[in-house]
Chain A
């Protein structure tokens, strides 16, 4: 019991100091280029952590997480471009659209079991890609949709702080969920579905809830990302992007709070160094993710924990 108490107290402490460091240190020491890498890493932290909320904590594998971020980005971007809505407002409509579609897909598939959710979300991603590329009068197809940014004056530092604040709020929200009553039911569903349902937990409802929340978070992350890049392309909702998010969560460590955060920074920064090898980096990340999933399913964080004890991370 004491150990558990300690774990709970230490965890936010370390993450908190890490993010304070992130807030104080980089803007004044990093070049514009590395600031950009940090912003992208924060986007991936949001994506991988929210995907982990459903995959790592309720055991449902969604392949539409990138697609939902694309919904967020495109809905928000199109509202800003065609209706002149402020991006600050538009991203919330985008988030709502992702949540709504997530609820619909979740409701249809989750009662049939995890395999159906994976199949349908994969199909959903493919279809979204086809629609976006074909409806080019609205989405500008593969050319990409140019959208306004958040700030009148473009500055990487403003975007960095915007992404940092959004990431921290999202992480606090996720942390609160997994350490709440609802989080307990998530884990109950993951560990033993039968036992959970026989002790009065509506397993389907819990999973649909997790899926909807997680999809909405992807929509928010995607909306922010789109208005940061100011060019929304079908790459955002692509399966390649989905794979990157999945690889970050798997390599970092699924089912742990810190895992996806570690994985996102690790892979994004690493991919900057191996960018010169072009398409090989997908193959490399794939092979690493495969080896990790096969031999160390708890990821880097799990290996760390096994080697240096449980005191530091959980």
Chain B
């Protein structure tokens, strides 16, 4: 029983972090109709940044973590400006460019950081007894609460602020939004940077728990894509529910069915969604 609860808790913690990463993808799809295949690489870069900032340069985690995310945000802005913007309206080229970019970043990571898995130091140490059932690492508990704070901030940003309102308006009707005076190109750029930063946020939060490697990026991207399809393209709520569902199924499946096939469960979910409910749990049914 306590074993089951522990796997379930693992699933929930990973699920919340999945949700952050998936919202990054969803935000970009929603506003720009672009899938960023380099999403996983941004996650990996953030993990390595935080590792090198804290280990090689001795920056305390409290500073190293936001700094890493900020670097990824800047990289995201740069990507949008130089590579993505010229492809607007040409879905095929945006897919090709971000895919090529993911390969470029992956081999760049291999050259810069080497092939070895790296793990930034834990922010906190020790473990806590959860209601007498099992012991759970403090790092994971802290990661969970930080993720919740990040999720709440994103929801606030998108639902309540002027910025979020403009983003939602653009994803509904770009011309009309531009007409009433929103600088839609600038909004794209910021939204893309924000999407990248969310990949980075997921990376820095998860890196102390699961070490990052340059080759680990494709499963990160895939997880985010599966969550987005499961939740429904462009739906924030869908990302949270989808992230939790995927996290729980993957962890229980890996524990009780087969750990080698951990990533297969996600793909099975993807196929089932495409067969039975292709618009996702909270997406809008196509016209």
A contact residues vs B (CB 8 Å cutoff): 55, 59-61, 63, 108-109, 111-112, 114-116, 118-120, 122-124, 126-127, 130-131, 134, 239-240, 243, 246-247, 250, 279-280, 282-283, 286-287, 289-290, 293-294, 297
- Number of chain B residues whose Cβ lies closer than 8 Å to a Cβ of chain A: 43
Contact B111 A246 (CB under 8 A): no
How many angstroms from the CA of A247 to the CA of B103 in the assembled complex?
11
Quote the shortest CB–CB distance from A26 to chain B (angstroms): 31
Q: Are A127 and B274 also in contact (CB < 8 A) when A243-B103, A247-B100 are?
A: no
Tell me which residues across on chain A come within 8 A of B275, comparing CB atoms.
108
Q: Are A279 and B111 also in contact (CB < 8 A) when A108-B271, A119-B35, A126-B218 are?
A: yes
Which DSSP category, helix, strand, loop or mixed, fits chain A's interface?
A: helix
B51 interface residue per 8 A CB criterion: no
Q: Which residue of B lies closest to A114 (CB)?
A: B91
Tell me which residues across on chain A come within 8 A of B104, comparing CB atoms.
283, 286-287, 290
Which DSSP category, helix, strand, loop or mixed, fits chain B's interface?
A: helix
Tell me which residues across on chain A come within 8 A of B267, comparing CB atoms.
123-124, 126-127
Contact A114 B92 (CB under 8 A): yes
Tell me which residues across on chain A come within 8 A of B97, comparing CB atoms.
290, 293-294
Contact A59 B92 (CB under 8 A): yes
B180 interface residue per 8 A CB criterion: no
Count of inter-chain pairs, beta carbons less than 8 A:
114
1/0 per residue, CB under 8 A from A, across B199-230: the answer is: 00000000000000000001101100110010
B contact residues vs A (CB 8 Å cutoff): 29, 33, 35, 37, 82-83, 86, 91-93, 95-97, 99-101, 103-104, 107-108, 110-111, 218-219, 221-222, 225-226, 229, 233, 260-261, 263-264, 266-267, 270-271, 274-275, 278-279, 286
Q: Which residue of A lies closest to B258 (CB)?
A: A134
Identify which of B96, B222, B286 contacts A123 (C-beta below 8 A).
B222
Contact B93 A293 (CB under 8 A): yes
Quote the shortest CB–CB distance from A188 to chain B (angstroms): 16
- 10 of the cross-chain contacts (CB-CB < 8 Å) are A61-B95, A119-B270, A120-B271, A120-B274, A123-B270, A239-B103, A283-B104, A286-B104, A293-B96, A294-B83
